[in-house]
């Protein structure tokens, strides 16, 4: 019994001597619970709605005002022609569009049948369902008021017709595949590189690198190269499965998609190298990757819940998740079929992240060499 007690005491001492392990095992779960408690939400807030209709028509103005006064919706712009909707979605200027038929008010009163077309961005089917549901609810409320205001025996009818661009069949794979692609690439790339330098420390071969004439920059890059090749194989496999098995189209440039994937993979590898440099052992590196990256990537990258529905502070936090920007790029290129101009902002952000992470990793590595 004494030996068992001594062994327990020894294990506690090992744990409490490692401040990093204490921080990971005690503080990180608390932080994750607080963050995820605010971030996990099925609501969609601040939905940007564009509309196409005649504002001189009182019935159109009434519906538009009711949409704009809703707590979840806001009117961002008026379109002169329904053909502008595609461009508005591709430039990410609106989340949905509402098109009113010609002579909308005349067809409505007092006992007519007026048609409204609700158009959502089906590249994210879960969010599109909620947004179109919100707008349909507002229109049904407006219809109820219109029925009370008319005195004929027949009731005025507004018929909202829902249309989802890019994904008319509402296939969930259109939303799930880009998210899983980003999650898998980030976790695999990061975990593989996170143990590279730590393994050198634990096996005692780091001294051989220290006395070699190779500069720290080339040491870091040489460790990235094998994983970069494996990541390219992983991306190719995932893309083939997504296209031929899950039937997700590649509407945009395949070359541009590969360039974006390369940008994201380099960012993930640089993050893994940084974790490897600052971690004292392989267990700590894997804990950081598992607890510090897996759940935040799933929650804050938009795979499950839209980032727009989170509080503003957590939206800022989601901006530092590389997978968020890669998923946006994949949706734009694969599903919406946009070009470089549409995805340039996200690609520049990923490039900046890669440069920053690599620079910090090299600086930290040099500090440990001294």
Token reading at 158? 């507004």
State yes or no: cis peptide before 110, omega within 30 of 0: yes
CB 53 within 8 A of CB 97: no
pLDDT recorded at residue 148: 44
Confidence category of residue 151, pLDDT binned at 50, 70, 90: very low
Q: Which residues of 293-315 are buried (b: 16+ CB within 10 A; e: fewer)?
A: beebbbbbbbbebbbbbbeeebe
pLDDT recorded at residue 326: 93
* Angle in degrees, 0-180, between the axes of helices 254-278 and 340-369, rounded to the nearest 10: 20
SS3 (DSSP) at 115? strand
pLDDT recorded at residue 150: 42
Tell me the pLDDT of the chain averaged across its residues. 78
CB 141 within 8 A of CB 160: no
Strands (E), the chain: 47-52, 73-78, 96-100, 113-121, 157-165
Which has more pLDDT, 172 or 190? 190
Q: Model confidence over 241-260: pLDDT tens digits?
A: 888 887 888 888 999 999 99
Q: Model confidence over 74-121: pLDDT tens digits?
A: 999 898 888 888 888 888 888 899 998 888 777 766 556 677 888 988
Whether residue 369 is predicted with pLDDT greater than 60 in this model: the reply is no
Q: Model confidence over 49-76: pLDDT tens digits?
A: 999 888 888 888 888 898 888 888 899 9
Cα(66)–Cα(76) distance, integer angstroms: 14
- Report the pLDDT averaged over residues 263-273: 89
Q: Model confidence over 221-231: pLDDT tens digits?
A: 777 777 778 78
CA nearest 139: which of 66, 79, 78? 66
- Report the pLDDT averaged over residues 115-130: 83
* Angle in degrees, 0-180, between the axes of helices 196-203 and 216-240, rounded to the nearest 10: 130
Token reading at 336? 């919406």
Which of the listed CATH numbers 3.40.50.1820, 3.20.20.370, 2.130.10.10, 3.40.1710.10 matches domain 47-165? Answer: 3.40.1710.10
pLDDT recorded at residue 59: 83
Q: What are phi and psi of 55, to 5 degrees?
A: -70, -10
Q: Model confidence over 154-188: pLDDT tens digits?
A: 445 566 777 777 776 666 677 777 877 888 888 77
This prediction has a pTM of 0.72
Q: Model confidence over 286-339: pLDDT tens digits?
A: 888 877 788 788 888 887 777 877 888 888 888 999 999 999 999 889 888 888
Cα(100)–Cα(5) distance, integer angstroms: 77
Whether residue 367 is predicted with pLDDT greater than 80 in this model: the reply is no
CA nearest 175: which of 130, 131, 133, 126? 126
Cα(223)–Cα(269) distance, integer angstroms: 9
CA nearest 188: which of 240, 148, 230? 230
DSSP class of 213: S
Q: List C-alpha distances in Å: 146 to 34, 62, 136, 160, 295.
A: 45, 10, 15, 15, 48
pLDDT recorded at residue 351: 94
CB 88 within 8 A of CB 94: yes
Using CB atoms within 10 A of its CB, is residue 273 exposed (0-12), middle (13-18) or buried (19+)?
buried
CB 267 within 8 A of CB 260: no
Where along the chain do the CATH 3.40.1710.10 domains lie? Answer: 47-165
pLDDT recorded at residue 49: 92
* Pairing verdict, β 47-52 and 96-100: parallel
Q: What are phi and psi of 195, to 5 degrees?
A: -100, 0
Using CB atoms within 10 A of its CB, is residue 208 exposed (0-12), middle (13-18) or buried (19+)?
exposed
Q: List C-alpha distances in Å: 248 to 30, 214, 330.
A: 38, 45, 11
DSSP class of 302: S
């Amino acid at each position: 019994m004494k030996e068992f007690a001594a062994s327990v005491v020894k294990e506690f001492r090992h744990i409490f001597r490692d401040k990093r392990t204490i921080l990971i095992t005690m503080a990180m779960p608390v932080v994750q619970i607080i963050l995820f408690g605010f971030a996990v939400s099925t609501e969609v807030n601040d939905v940007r709605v564009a509309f196409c209709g005649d504002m001189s028509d009182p019935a159109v103005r009434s519906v538009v005002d009711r949409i704009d006064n809703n707590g979840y919706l806001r009117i961002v712009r008026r379109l002169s022609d329904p053909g502008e909707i595609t461009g508005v979605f591709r430039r990410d200027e609106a989340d949905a569009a509402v098109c009113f038929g010609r002579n909308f008010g005349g067809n409505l009163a007092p006992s007519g049948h007026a048609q409204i077309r609700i158009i959502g961005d089906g590249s994210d089917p879960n969010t599109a369902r909620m947004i179109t549901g919100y707008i349909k609810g507002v229109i049904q409320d407006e219809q109820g008021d219109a029925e009370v205001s008319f005195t004929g025996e027949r009731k005025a009818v507004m018929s909202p017709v829902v249309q989802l661009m890019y994904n008319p069949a509402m296939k969930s794979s259109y939303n799930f595949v880009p998210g899983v692609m980003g999650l898998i690439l980030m976790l695999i790339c990061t975990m593989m590189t996170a143990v590279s330098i730590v393994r050198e420390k634990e096996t005692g071969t780091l001294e051989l690198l220290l006395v070699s004439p190779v500069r720290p920059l080339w040491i870091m890059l040489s460790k990235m190269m094998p994983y970069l090749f494996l990541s390219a194989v992983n991306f190719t496999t995932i893309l083939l499965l997504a296209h031929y098995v899950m039937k997700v189209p590649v509407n945009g440039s395949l070359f541009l998609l590969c360039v974006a994937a390369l940008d994201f993979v380099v960012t993930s590898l640089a993050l893994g190298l940084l974790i490897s440099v600052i971690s004292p052992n392989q267990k700590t590196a894997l804990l950081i990757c598992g607890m510090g990256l897996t759940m935040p990537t799933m929650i804050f990258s938009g795979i499950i819940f839209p980032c727009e529905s989170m509080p503003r502070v957590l939206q800022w936090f989601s901006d530092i998740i590389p997978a968020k920007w890669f998923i946006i790029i994949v949706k734009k290129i694969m599903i919406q079929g946009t070009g470089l101009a549409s995805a340039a902002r996200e690609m520049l952000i990923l490039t900046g992240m890669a440069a920053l992470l690599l620079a910090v990793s090299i600086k930290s590595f040099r500090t440990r060499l001294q």
